[in-house]
Structures are given as structure tokens and as C-alpha cells.
Structure 1
Amino acid sequence: MGPPSQGVATKDDIELRLGAELEHLPLIRSLASSIAMRADFDLDMIADLKLAVDEACSTLIVRAVPETRMVCRFALGKGELRFTVSVVTARDTPPSTKSFGWQVLTTLTDSASSWIEGHTGNGQASWVYVELTKRRPETSG
């Protein structure tokens, strides 16, 4: 069963489901890079996006319930790439926006947010999300 926020994808969305393990980070970074290249992001923006995706995934992997899956979604829009990552967690709060890692995310992307869904407050597991958006600069023709 997937996370509650992630409904039907558009035809251009790409979703990857894999174990919430640090050894999978190179695969996710590689996919982020490939998608950004195809969307005509420049090399600096691609490098920023790869670092941000790595930081977002690392942040959630350490919060994940053992043996759980991580769900990564890449969504291309007009001049932007949105990346959403989620894992099942036993914690009842999203990642701190005051941490160094969060400062890295907000520096490397145009927007970053995090939230929890499905938490009952009874020690039950819920989904924790991080969503990043990276926009191409508008070019005047």
C-alpha cells in the first residue's frame, strides 16, 4: 500500500519504490540527474537537485521504520521538477526546519516542505514526506 498523498500520477510522473536504505541513494541521485537533464536543466541546477534529493532521502531514511519502503516521485511541470519522497515512520513530527540538513534543502531548491499523514497519536506508524521543487530560470526570447 502506498502513501496516502500520492494518488494517480500524470503520464509524465516517474515513481520509484525501493527499500529505505542508504545504499539506494546513488540510484535515486542518478535518476534525478537523468530526469533533470531531459528537462533541460543546466549542469549547476542538476548538481543542486542531486544534492537536495540525497539530503531529503537521507533525512527520511533515518526516520523510517525498519524494513520499510521509500516512495520517490518525480513530477515534471512547466519549467519545474517536483520531487516527493515518503517513508513510514513511528515519529509524530516531520523533520525539523531548523536543522542544518533543512537549510541545505532550502538553499539548493526553490521550495521545500515536509509533513506527516495518517498519524493517530497512539504510537502507530504514519507516512512522513519531504517535497522539493526546482525551477528552471525563465528565459526571455
Structure 2
Amino acid sequence: MSHTEPHSGELDNALSGVELRIAADPTQLSVVRAVAADIAMRQDFDLDSIEDLKLAVDEACSTLISLASKGAVLSARFVVADGDVQVSTQVVSERAAPPDRDSFGWRVLSALVDSVTTWVAPKSGEESYEVHIDLVKRSLGTVDA
């Protein structure tokens, strides 16, 4: 094995999710929604849960697009863990503040998923920031009784 070949555990981690990197443009939202729906279907989510995840991902990405710097790339990473779908989204922004958690959109987003968090991190050596929104949608089989 050469030094450039990943060990089997490293390969499993590298392939455990799907990451999209697209222009931070509203015309690209249909791609992200389609991936979210496909992943939810493969996890046997019911139709309502599939639609909730699609709408939540759309809202998170729309929020980030509204904050994005000109020419920014939107990243959306989907990981399945124990039947739950975890979505991590981020974009580069000139704004240091996180999304408005008192907005109607944030309330809708919070109602559609089991957890949602946001934070902002400065980009090293630049006068810009990475704005993150992470969410988790649990399958019905993993909801605590």
C-alpha cells in the first residue's frame, strides 16, 4: 500500500456522505432539493418527512444564498447516520452575523427538522466569513418514544 492510498477506515469516512458544491444562486436550489429527496427516499422516510427535508434544505440554502458574497460557492453535505439525515450547509459571506433566528423562515426551518444550528467562522487571512447552517431530520424509526 502506498502512502497516498487511504486505509479502509479512511475510505469509509470519505464515502459516507454526498457533498454538493454549487454556485450560490437561487437557480441551483432544485439540484439540492432533488438530492435531499433522493437521500430521504433511500432511508425509507415517509412522504411527509421527505417533503419536510426538501423544504428545510431549500430554506437553509436560500438563507445562505441571501448572505453569500458575490461569486460564492454553496456547499451542502449530506450524511446518513443511524437512519437520520444530517445536512451541513455553508457559504462565504462578507457578513459576520449568523442568519436571523427570529425570522419567519428560521421558524419554518426549525419546525421542519429535529434540530438546526447555525454559526459563523472567520476565514483565516481574509475579511470574509463562513456562515453555516446544519440540520438533522430523523427517520420515524429513530424518534424517541
TM bin, normalised by shorter chain, reads 0.7 to 0.9
1:57-96 map, 5 Å: 57-96=61-100
Is contact 1:112-1:133 (8 Å) kept? yes
2:40 is matched by which residue type in structure 1?
A
Normalised to the residue count of structure 2, the TM-score between the two structures is 0.85
1:1-141 map, 5 Å: 10-118=14-122, 124-138=127-141
Distance 2:32 2:59 in 1: 11
Q: Cα distance, 1:117 vs. partner?
A: 1.0
- CA-based RMSD of the aligned residues comes to 1.8
Distance 1:138 1:29 in 2: 23
Distance 1:38 1:75 in 2: 12
Q: Cα distance, 1:119 vs. partner?
A: 5.4
Change (3 A) 1:78 1:10: farther
Is contact 1:92-1:119 (8 Å) kept? no
Counting helix residues as a fraction of each chain, which structure ranks higher?
A: 2
Percent of pairs identical after alignment? 42
2:118 is matched by which residue type in structure 1?
S
1:20 is matched by which residue type in structure 2?
A
Distance 2:136 2:109 in 1: 10
Distance 1:54 1:80 in 2: 18
Counting matched residue pairs gives 131
Instruction: Encode CA deviations 1:80-129: one digit per residue, 9 max, x unaligned.
Output: 00111100001111101111011011100000010001257xx8101000
Is contact 2:68-2:91 (8 Å) kept? yes
Q: Cα distance, 1:10 vs. partner?
A: 4.0
Normalised to the residue count of structure 1, the TM-score between the two structures is 0.87
Distance 1:42 1:79 in 2: 13
Q: Which residue matches 1:5?
A: none
Is contact 1:19-1:68 (8 Å) kept? yes
Point out where structure 2 has 5 or more consecutive residues left out of the alignment. 1-10
Structure with the greater alpha carbon radius of gyration: 2
Distance 2:141 2:20 in 1: 29
